[in-house]
Amino acid sequence: MYPDVDFLGIEWASKYYRHAVDRLGRWGLTNVRIIRADAAAFLRDHVPADSVGGFHIYFPDPWPKKRHHKRRFVQKDNVAMLIERLKPGGTIQLATDHEGYFEQMQEVTSAFRRELEEIAFVRPAGATEGERTGTNYERKYIRDRRTIRVLAFRKRSAGPKP
C-alpha cells in the first residue's frame, strides 16, 4: 500500500527488529526500511527539521513503575523534537493500552496546543474492523479485553512571520 510513500520503522529491541525485518522481506515491501536504534537519539541526530509527514507511535513501552517513567518515549523533550521534525500539516498518532501512560501522553501533548491541533485518529491501512492500529500488540490486547486509547495531532502551519 502507498507505493509513493516511504516508511521508516525504528525499533530498539533486537527480537522485534529481527521479526520486522523478516516480515518486510517476506512481504516484498520496497518502500519500507527499519533500523535498530534508540528512536529519540536517531531522530535528534539524523532527521532534519520539517522533513517528516507523520509519526505513528503505537504501544511504546509504558515503563509502568513510577521510578521508570523518565524512560517513556512520550516526554516533553521528545514531543518537541517530533514537532520540529514534522512538516507543517504533518501528523502524530499515538496508541496505548496503558491508562497511566495515556494520561501522561495527554498531559505532555497539552503543553503543545499552540503547535499541535488535535484531530481524529486515522486507522492505518493494515487495521481491520474493530482495530485502531492493526498491530500484533493491539490484537493481543483486544483478546485480553484491554482498552485501546488513541490520540492524534496535526502540526499547525507556522503562519506569517512579523
Going from the first residue of the chain to its last (162 residues), give the mean pLDDT of each consecutive group of 10, the final group possibly shorter.
86 92 91 94 96 95 90 96 97 96 97 97 91 92 95 84 50
pLDDT at 159: 55
Q: What angle do CA 78, 61, 59 make, to 5 degrees?
A: 90
The Cα-based distances of 74 to 103, 109, 143 in angstroms read 11, 9, 26
Q: Say whether 61 is catalytic.
A: yes
Angle, CA of 135, 49 and 109, to the nearest 5°: 55
pLDDT of residue 157: 84
Task: Please report the pLDDT score of residue 56 as a whole number.
Answer: 96
DSSP H stretches of helix in the chain: 14-27, 39-46, 76-85, 99-110, 136-143
Angle made by CA atoms 28, 31, 33, in degrees to the nearest 5? 90
pTM value is 0.90
The domains of the chain are located at 1-37, 49-155
Which entry of 4, 6, 50, 61 is annotated as an active-site residue? 61
**What is the fold, at CATH topology level, of the domain defined by 49-155?**
Rossmann fold (3.40.50)
Lookup result for grid cell 534508540: 38
